[in-house]
Each structure stands twice: as C-alpha cells, then as structure tokens.
Amino acid sequence: MTIADSGALMDNESLCLPCTPEEERRIVKELTDKAELCLKEGNLYYVVSNRWFTKWQKYVGEETGAYQLEELSNDKQASASSKVGERPGPIDNTDIIANEGGHDGNDLQLPRTLVEREDYVLVPQGVWDKLHGWYKGGPALPRKMISVGTRETYAVEVFPLALTLIDSRDKSEIIIHITKKASLRELHKQVSALKGVESEKIHMWDYFNNVKQAALVYSNQTLEEANLQMDQSILLDVQVDGFIPSGCGMDSTGNELALVPMEPQRSTRTIAGGPSLSNGYATDYGSSLYQGVTLSSIDMEDVHDSVKTGPKRDRGLAGLQNLGNTCFMNSALQCLVHTPPLVDYFLQDYTEEINKQNPLGMHGELAVAFGELLRKLWSSGRTAVPPRAFKGKLARFAPQFSGYNQHDSQELLAFLLDGLHEDLNRVKQKPYFETKDSDGRADEEVANEFWSYHKARNDSIVVDVCQGQYKSTLVCPVCDKISITFDPFMYLSLPLPSTATRSMTVTVFYGDGSSLPMPFTVTVSKHGCCKDLFQALCTACCLESDETLILAEVYDHGIYKLLENGDSLHTVKDEEFIVAYRLSKKQSEFPKLEICHRYLENSKAGERKKFLTPLITYLEGAKTGADIEVAVNRVLAPLKRKAFSSTSSSSSNGQKVNGSASEPMEESTSDSLMEDNKDFDEKCNGELSYLLCISDERGMSGRPLLKDTVIKPNKMVKVLLDWTEKEHDLYDANYLKDLPTVNKPGVSVKKTKQESISLFSCLDAFLKEEPLGPDDMWYCPGCKEHRQATKKLDLWRLPDIIVFHLKRFSYSRFLKNKLDTFVNFPIHNLDLSKYVKSEETSASGGSNIYELYAISNHYGGLGGGHYSAYAKLVEEDRWYHFDDAHVTAVSEGDIRTSAAYLLFYQRVKTTAKTKTKPNNGNGNGSVSVSVGESSSHSHSLEEDF
C-alpha cells in the first residue's frame, strides 16, 4: 500500500482551526458515530499510536484505556474538565512503524506484534482529518475496511498480506504488500507493473515452503481463496522470446493449458469416503459453498492403510507448521487429533453423517477440513503438515481467528467442537421442546428429560464423547423459589483460587535532596492498583507519617505520566521503569519542578539528546530563574562528588542494600554545599550556574533560563538541564543511570507453596454456591421480578472425554491479566466420583475415573505468549511435546507445569473383574480399573500428587 504524504491529504487543513478540548471531544464523537452507521467495504481508517492518542484523551477529558466514546452527563463533563491534561503535540506514529517496507519506500508497515487498543487505535477517515488538521504530524497510516467471514462482518485490515516475490530469472526477492481480498488478476497487474513485464508473459506459482504448490492463474479468485499465507513466497516465471520455462502451464504453441494444483494424483473418493467432488463441490452441495476451493479427494482407504501399516514409531508424530502466530491453533488441534475416539471416527467413513443443510453448521466443510487434516497428520510420518486449507476454512467461518495476531486456544477449541458437532449432527430436522420446571420432581426424572430433549436435537460424535450434563440450582433470596435445570457442557472452565502476587522494583528519589536514590523491590497483588504499590513502598522505605511519594512512569528519559492511586498495576509492564519521588506532605503541596537531563550529542550541529533519569523537586514561592536554580542545586546536592567522598564508606555500601534507607546528609554538609553554590553564583554576572531551558509540555526545548527570567505559576514547571564537562566533574551521574526495570527480564520467579493449588481446589471453586452478579440477575417466576439469586452447580453426567479449562486469563474493558499459578493435576486415576450427583453411572457400572492424555500449554504473558501441546500416544505409552513443527519425546514427570491451560482426560473403562478398595480412607468404595496400560501406571491418586 502506497501512502500519500500526510501533508497532502486535505485541501482544507488550514480551515481546521484550534478548538477547545470539549469541542474536540464532541466533534470526534460525532464523526465516530457517523462512521459506525455507514460501515462498508472500502471505508478508510487510520492507525494512530495509542501513546499519542492517550495523551489526546487526557487532554479532552475522555476516559483513557480504550477508544470508546460514550455519552457524558453534565456532571461527568464537569469532572472531566477538572482533570484536563496538557495539549498533546503533533501526532507521532513513529513508535508503531516497522521500517521494513516493501518495494516502495512509502510502504510503511506495522510490527505484527502490535495489539489494538494497547499499541494503536483505529480512527475513521473523518476523525483522522480533524486530528491531523488540529495537530499535524504523522506519518499517515491508512488502512481499508474489508468484509470477512460468511456473514460478511467488517474489519479493518491493519496487516495486509506480505508476499515474497522470487524472480526465477535472477533469484531476486521483493516483498509485496497487498490485501488478501485482492484477486489473482490484481496480483498479476501489480507484479507486471513492478517488473515492467507484459501481464500475458507473467506466470506465477504458489511457492509455499519453496515448493511449487499450484499455479496462480489470471482470474478473479482472491488471494485468501488461494490460501496464500503471510510471509510466504510466490515464484515468478517470465516468457522470453516465446519460450515458457518448463512447467509454466502452456503447450508448445503458447496456448494455456488447464492449470491444476501441483498435488499427488487423487482417487475418486473424498476424505470422508464418499463420491469425489468436482470443481470443489458436489452437485448437491449447495450454491453457498466456498466456490473454487477444492475439498480434498485423498483416498480414505489409502490413508487408513498408511496409518495402520506405517512405522509404529512415526504414527501421530507429525507437527503443524506455524503460519504466522498460529501456535494457539496448532496446540488445540494436536490435542484434538490425539483424542482416541475422534481419531477412530475420522479415520473411518463418516460421509453419511455430514450435515450439509444445518443452518447452524458450516455445510460440512469444517468437518471435512478437520478430517483431512487429521488424516494427513496420522499418515505423514514425522513430516510437518502446513494447515493452510484448514486455516482458510477457519478464517472464513470464524473471522475472529483470521489475521496474524495471537488468539486463545480455548476459544478456538470451543468453536471447533461446536462447529464439528453441527457439521456432523445426525439430526436433520430439530424438533421443538418446551422445557418444564422441576416442580419438586425427582432429579433423575428431570435430568433424563432434559438429556432426552438435548439428544433429540443434538446427536453427533461430539455429543457422544465430549458432552456431559450439570445440574444448576437457583434460589430466590426473597421467596425461596427453587429452580433446577440440567444443562449440557462440552468443557468445564475452572477458576484458579490463587492469591497471585508480583514483584516490582521501584527506584525512590529524594525530592528534597536529602539522600541518594535507592531501588526497592516490593511484592504486590497482580490484581492490585497503584495504591497497593504506594503502601508497599511506604513500608519498604520507612516513610514517615508526614511524608508522601509521587509515583511516575519514566519513558525516554522523561516523565511519561504520574500514577494515581486508582490506576491498575496491570497497565505497568515488567520492562517499564517506575520511580517514586519522596517529599514531605507540606512540600508536595507546592508547585513541582521536573528536571530532564541532556547532553551535546553533535557539537557541530548543536544537537542535544536526553539521558539520565528525570528528577522532581518542589518550588516554594518560585518567581524567577534564580529560584529555579536554588531548587536544582537542592535536588542535585546528593550527587556532588565532594559530598559523596566526605561521607563514610559504610554509608555508600548502605545505598546498595535493598529495603534500608540511607542516612540523610549532615546539616553541615548541606550548608557547605549551599555556600559553594553561592560563591559560584556570584561569579556568573546574572547568568545561572547551569545551562537551563524552560521546556514546553511536550518536553521540547524552549527559551534559555536566566536569573531574572519570570516564572509563570504552574502546578508543574519543566526544565531541561544541559550537562557540560563542569557538571560531570561536579556530580556523579552514575546514580541517575541504569534505572532498574519493574521486573528484570529473564528472571523466573519460583512459585511459593501458597501459589500451588490442586485441580480439586479449582473444581471446588467452580461448584461452590455463590450469588449471581448484579449484571446477571435471574427472573424469579415466583416474585415475577429480577432477583440476585444464589446459584449452585453440580456435575450430573460426565462424558468419556472431559476437558478442563484453567481460567488463567481475565479480561475487562481496560484490564487483561494472566495467572501463572501452578495447578497440581493428576495424570492417572483422576477420581471425580465425589463430584457426580447422579447415581446412574455407578449403578450401571460406569467409571468416574479418568486418565490424562493431552495438555494445551500457554507460556509467557498476554499478547507475546506461546502455545504448545503435550499429547500421549496410548499404543506407545509415551508422551510427546508438540511445539508447532517440532515434535520431541518428553518424560511423563515433566508434563506437569504452570503453563498448563487445557487438560484433556479420557474415561477409564472398567474391566470385567472388579473389586472395591478404600478410597482415601473415607469409607467409600472405588472400582479397580484397567486401560490396557503397564502396571507401573496402576497407582493411586495420592502417588500422583
């Protein structure tokens, strides 16, 4: 995408006169509302740095944290106006640009690790025009809105497709950025113009993995339909003097031949075992299918035979190539394709069960794509499989997973299980049932009634093996009305009852210049706010009752923002810098002086660059530059080399001890310093002893500061201190260098025993009785009113395959968090008997004992994390680690980690010979079970823990 110069975007920019903050907020909201009412493909949006946009939000009094404008009452407007921030400078998008453009120097692209609402925001073209008219700056980053998915939802394509064009003539490579909605015809034209070659002489190939996959013919098929992936290669062949390079799809006369995918010859059977599909779909498949995308016709019998006859050590050991942040998908898929009942099902002929007419399904296409992928994984040995076709189907039916950002493996699993169920639902016409209240009937009767209703409408392999039933009891707090329902579940999302903590390092500076700065490491709650950090620091640095701290975030050697008590600690990342300025409460009431430091980087050009840590002190009755100089002298006093050398060595060593405050300077030392400064000042003839400049609100240099310069009263006065050789000789700047980050990268914090919980504790938390939230009120049929009822869940019917989702992630409008709590879960003999309220399972001889066979893991934090999977090959009795394309054996003792996110268990089938034995000493009997594993695995649950 070529971006026009931001200065030429508008002819009437000169008409965009400055407005008041309230007017700017109103205008932007009106333009945003107007754009939301006219969503359509092709609309232009602009990417804006969230760092700059947050400053603008503060300036206009808008709530920061998300680009979401809402109606404000007069009271809120008044409140917002009282907290108006400083007017931001020109729009600055340089922090979100990756200078890796394509063939065009103006083809500015963004790093794909950026997250919307955290790193950038999207504003409609009308909003950008206004903001740019008011503030100028840039560069402009326009992006178009496209239609995604079968339901034609709209999304802005922030990251266009990046393709590496390889010219077969000289092996040169050029990166092309183009929308995935572009047709192959448009791609041909773009390459033709780029290479200066006539379009009819160009022949291109899908060159994924540097192998010719299929010809990219001159047609209206989109790049998305052709399954082209981000960062993959395409190969260019050019006709020279009537000669076409070998394999270009033309005969000797120059006439085009039918171009077909470069894949092995296929039989007349589909992957589902039915008749082959011509042109990508059968005649009875329906016109709504994904035209032009060929459903595979790999011979099911051949695949099944290859799975049976292939080397035993290679079965099910194929990895999945990462197609660009698809580790979340690969992790969930590996768990599913190693689920024994699903493997058996999809390796058989399931043609008759494909439901093409189900309006809730995907016309059978998702099931076919998953089945084909499963068969490839079980028949390709250890060769990694690129899931391009499956990813294309997923993006089409679930556009929320399209693009190249990281997503949640549990959300994908939920969609995939539900989609497979609907595509394979044996019920063609769903009957209607009106559910009845329990009305005091026996639980068994009501549960069976609900289950029969559910099965009459939902009957598939997914229901057969993955769906269970739980009992939900609601009690009205007013009339004591009891409502009991029995609902199906496909997985259980378990909360983690953990008091997760976080270590944070903050450097405390003395705003009155009484001591040297000192770092303190404190422990706070991960869910806490800055008030918790403030209190922890007060204790750590022995803050007196008449003292206070000013917390600030430092960025680019300046104060990025002052932290308030209500600010969430989730917004503070480990790699950021947080400082605190210690002042007496009386001093904190005076206007503040912020001092940023600079040095001369280029003496010829006179360029100065910021360095060191900014300082904050107080201004008592400051009116002129001379008063500013006194404040600078005061706060720099501890850094004076003379003062440092005069203090005892023990005091110096004490500075390095975390958690102990340094001794304040002796009064005589301070007097001596002030006397030295006074003598030095008298020699300056009206000039300050420092090179100081008044800084504007953006931290940019302003006019030089002299002794008689009048200072305007302000809550915060900002100055720039230019360091010369004199300052370096006089002060030790090392104390302002190498500011420690909040949490040093690469240091893993070991979990304490308090942070280790059992899977049973999570189950107990999930099943405990609790009141409904105020936003989830229940309509009581007795009171005929919405009530905040109490809710109790119980497990009633368990499936053969049970999935536990450990809720490590929490989301709100402005808040995202991950818990790294270690959950101690059993690998063998997970006994859920005490949680199952139905007596039918035990009466029928069924088992509530489960064995672990797969885990989806998540490592790292939000946004930058990574997924992998552990899966067990039952026939080998061995565990393997599936990390995208890499598959390695792993010992059973290493699979229990704090990264576990999804746990997959399979019910253990009872043997013919059973006997009872004590269960944890509670007097209940348990069934001796066998799953055909070695005797070394037949140990009790206590041994697993």
> In this structure, are residues 614 and 589 in contact, taking their beta carbons and an 8 Å threshold?
no
Residue 866 is among the residues annotated as catalytic for this protein: yes
On the CB side of 298, CA atoms within 13 Å amount to 21
Taking each helix axis from N to C end, the angle separating 365-379 and 409-423, rounded to the nearest 10 degrees, works out to 110
What does the block give as tokens for 162? 């990046």
Token digits of residue 899: 């990264």
Q: Which of the following is catalytic: 188, 248, 327, 828?
A: 327
Count of beta carbons in the 10 Å neighbourhood of residue 708: 9
Give the separation between CA 748 and CA 861, rounded to whole angstroms.
13
Angle at 581 (CA atoms; ends 579, 585), nearest 5 degrees: 145
Q: Which two tokens stand for residue 334?
A: 């590996």
Which is nearest to 563 in space by CA: 547, 581, 545? 581
CA–CA distances in Å: residue 623 to residues 187, 619, 699, 790: 66, 9, 21, 63
Q: Taking a C-beta distance cutoff of 8 angstroms, is the pair 830, 802 a contact? A: no
The amino acid sitting at 361 is: G
Report the distance separating Cα 273 and Cα 270, nearest Å. 5
Strand 886-890 with 900-907, pairing: unpaired
Quote the CA–CA distance of 596 and 590 in Å, as a whole number.
19
Q: How far is CA 932 from CA 312, 642, 906, 910, 937, in A?
A: 18, 80, 13, 11, 10
**Bond into 341 cis (ω within 30):** no
Q: How many CB atoms lie within 10 A of CB 572?
A: 21
132 is catalytic: no
**Strand partners for 876:** none
Tokens of 249: 């799809």
Q: Is the dihedral of CA 380, 385, 390, 392 positive or negative?
A: negative
Instruction: Give the single-character DSSP code of 674.
Output: H
Within 13 A of 874's CA, how many CA atoms are on the CB side? 18
Q: DSSP string of 337-395?
A: HT-HHHHHHHTS--GGG--SS-TTTTTTHHHHHHHHHHHHHHHSTT--B--HHHHHHHH
What residues does 146 pair with on adjacent strands?
A: 155
Helix (H, G, I), strand (E, B) or coil at 824: strand
DSSP per residue over 55-123, as a string?
HHHHHHTPPPSS-------HHHHHHHHHT--PPP-SEE-GGG-BS---SSTT--B--TT--BTTTEEEE
Under the phi-then-psi rule, with left for phi > 0, alpha for psi from -120 to 50, and beta for the rest, what region is 42?
A: left
Phi first, then psi: give them for residue 691, nearest 5 degrees: -85, 100
CA distance 667 to 486: 77
Out of 304, 454, 527, 866, the active site residue is 866
Question: HSE of 43 in the Cβ direction (CA atoms, 13 Å)?
Answer: 22
- H/E stretch holding 694 reads strand 691-695
Are 232 and 194 in contact by the 8 Å Cβ rule? The answer is no
In angstroms, what CA-CA distances link 427 with 169, 332, 382, 878? 57, 27, 38, 38
Report yes or no: 675 and 586 within 8 Å, Cβ to Cβ: no
Residues carrying an active site annotation: 327, 866
